[in-house]
């Protein structure tokens, strides 16, 4: 197979061909590296890439394949890792000059799980500074004059540019869903605690969640199945049975799913073509969509999210503040300053509100709906690289720890992607993927 075609294969197809001896991991990784050489000068998705290290991992995967011993579901498949996620054999610099040259001792739990499944850790993808707002060097593969979103900028862009079939990111506000939408790929933020965060830059225990990127829903399910699991280093991770994401996501729903279309109080921030596109989608789905007003207790969620994020980031970045605040960007310094002023009573009030509000959404799902339908972003990726875009349509679901996925189903008049976001009930991630598949089939059939 020609190199350019191999780099564009889905992860499921890569794994199948390697398993059946139709493609070697070394051939696949070489194809991805050639694609990176061609596109990286424009897209700039990588902050660390050692070709020899990547090829050595690929050759080891091929040796495992030839050994006759059992191999993992991702054997030989390359994955990009956001540069806030520790890798024992590569630097993890967290997008800040303060951590330049940092070499972790151990892999993050999610990296260890992917290696155990046979994945080739191709390299480290660009993050914004400490996974906050100040952009890195990455550009949108659809149009380099536009932002790729953030903070998982490089992960989303690398998958969109067919540099790598899979990538891992994170989300503390909108850092997975937003770049997934802007770059036109599938972006999945599982239920809070489902994918362990041990070895990931700690910004906010309450809000930090690992995110996954792929070019198909099947690939999302494959990656989720290997990434999810318990790790004792994450206090919000719990022992649980292995979730067969691929099998469950492939099932046909027993009845057509019903969607709650929630515009949120920030609907006026959407661009006109986003509003028109969602109106057309709702009309096409007919009786399977019902517009639902956000209940009053959830309306404070955006304020709570900002307060909790600022307070917890200020605490977790205290060392950086004390030793190098003059080398932090203005936006990050301002966030830390605000976070250091948060009153304990306001912080505790916000934490109390999270579970009560999430339980109200649980009741909404139990009573009637399979998923919430809402925009991933206000519109297409903004022009310019000084901003990573508005996360307002992600904040509430991140706060509540609910699973969310951005589906690349829409296009703006400028040709850039617009994501459709589906949000599910906490702990029902595989059902959300099943519902997403149904929606994709409906849109493609229509």
Which residues are tagged catalytic? 82, 151, 175
Residues pairing with 407 in the sheet: 420
- DSSP H helices in 261-413: 272-285, 301-316, 318-324, 330-339, 344-367, 395-399
For the sheet containing 417-423, what is the strand order? 46-48, 120-125, 78-82, 166-171, 209-214, 186-189, 404-411, 417-423, 371-375, 259-261, 289-291
Q: Are β-strands 78-82 and 289-291 bridged in parallel, bridged antiparallel, or unpaired?
A: unpaired
Greatest alpha-carbon span in the chain: 62
Please tell me the distance from the alpha carbon of residue 48 to that of residue 51, in angstroms, as a whole number.
Answer: 10
SS (H, E, C) 127-160: CCHHHCCCCCCCCCCCCCCECCCCCCHHHHHHHH
Phi-psi bin for 329: left (phi > 0), alpha (psi -120 to 50), beta?
A: beta
CB 6 within 8 A of CB 33: no
Please tell me the distance from the alpha carbon of residue 180 to that of residue 151, in angstroms, as a whole number.
Answer: 11
Nearest to 78 by CA among 246, 218, 213: 213
Residues pairing with 187 in the sheet: 213, 406
Nearest to 93 by CA among 54, 275, 404, 85: 85
Secondary structure (3-state) at 106: coil
| Cβ-based burial of 329 (10 A; exposed 0-12, middle 13-18, buried ≥19) | middle
Instruction: Please give the structure tokens belonging to residue 62.
Output: 């091929």
Integer CA distances (angstroms), 422 to 185, 347, 413, 425, 438, in order: 14, 29, 23, 10, 12
Instruction: Please give the structure tokens belonging to residue 208.
Output: 């930090």
Please tell me the distance from the alpha carbon of residue 80 to that of residue 213, in angstroms, as a whole number.
Answer: 9
> 52: number of CA atoms within 13 Å, CB side?
0
Please tell me the distance from the alpha carbon of residue 171 to that of residue 191, in angstroms, as a whole number.
Answer: 11
């Amino acid at each position: 197979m020609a190199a350019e075609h191999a780099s564009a294969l889905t992860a499921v197809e890569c794994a199948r061909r390697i398993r059946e001896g139709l493609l070697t991991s070394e051939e696949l990784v070489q194809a991805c590296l050639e694609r990176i050489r061609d596109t990286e000068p424009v897209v700039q998705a990588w902050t660390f890439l050692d070709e020899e290290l990547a090829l050595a991992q690929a050759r080891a995967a091929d040796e495992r394949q030839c050994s006759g011993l059992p191999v993992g579901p991702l054997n030989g498949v390359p994955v990009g890792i956001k540069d806030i996620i520790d890798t024992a054999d590569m630097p993890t610099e967290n997008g800040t000059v303060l951590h330049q040259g940092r070499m972790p001792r151990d892999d993050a739990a999610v990296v260890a799980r992917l290696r155990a499944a046979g994945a080739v850790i191709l390299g480290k993808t660009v993050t914004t500074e400490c996974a906050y707002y100040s952009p890195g060097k990455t550009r949108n593969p659809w149009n380099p004059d536009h932002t790729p979103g953030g903070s998982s900028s490089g992960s989303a862009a690398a998958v969109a540019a067919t540099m790598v079939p899979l990538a891992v990111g994170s989300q503390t506000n909108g850092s997975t869903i937003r770049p997934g939408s802007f770059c036109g790929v599938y972006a999945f933020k599982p239920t809070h605690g489902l994918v362990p965060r041990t070895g990931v830059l700690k910004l906010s225990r309450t809000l930090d969640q690992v995110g996954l990127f792929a070019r198909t829903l099947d690939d999302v399910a494959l990656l989720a199945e290997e990434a999810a699991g318990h790790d004792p280093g994450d206090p919000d991770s719990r022992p649980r049975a292995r979730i067969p994401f691929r099998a469950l996501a492939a099932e046909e729903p027993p009845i057509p799913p019903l969607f709650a279309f929630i515009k949120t109080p920030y609907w006026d921030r959407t661009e006109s073509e986003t509003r028109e596109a969602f109106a057309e989608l709702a009309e096409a789905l007919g009786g399977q969509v019902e517009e639902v007003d956000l209940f009053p207790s959830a309306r404070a969620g955006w304020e709570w999210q900002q307060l909790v994020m600022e307070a917890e980031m200020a605490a977790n970045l205290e060392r950086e503040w004390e030793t190098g605040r003059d080398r932090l960007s203005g936006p990050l310094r301002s966030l830390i300053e605000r976070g250091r002023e948060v009153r304990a009573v306001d912080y505790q009030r916000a934490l109390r509100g999270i579970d009560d509000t999430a339980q109200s959404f649980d009741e909404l799902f139990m009573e009637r709906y399979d998923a919430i339908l809402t925009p991933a972003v206000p519109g297409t990726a903004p022009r310019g690289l000084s901003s990573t875009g508005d996360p307002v349509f992600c904040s509430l679901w991140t706060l509540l720890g609910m699973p969310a996925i951005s589906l690349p189903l829409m296009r703006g008049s400028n040709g850039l992607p617009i994501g459709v976001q589906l949000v599910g009930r906490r702990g029902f991630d595989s059902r959300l993927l099943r519902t997403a598949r149904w929606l994709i089939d409906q849109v493609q059939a229509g």
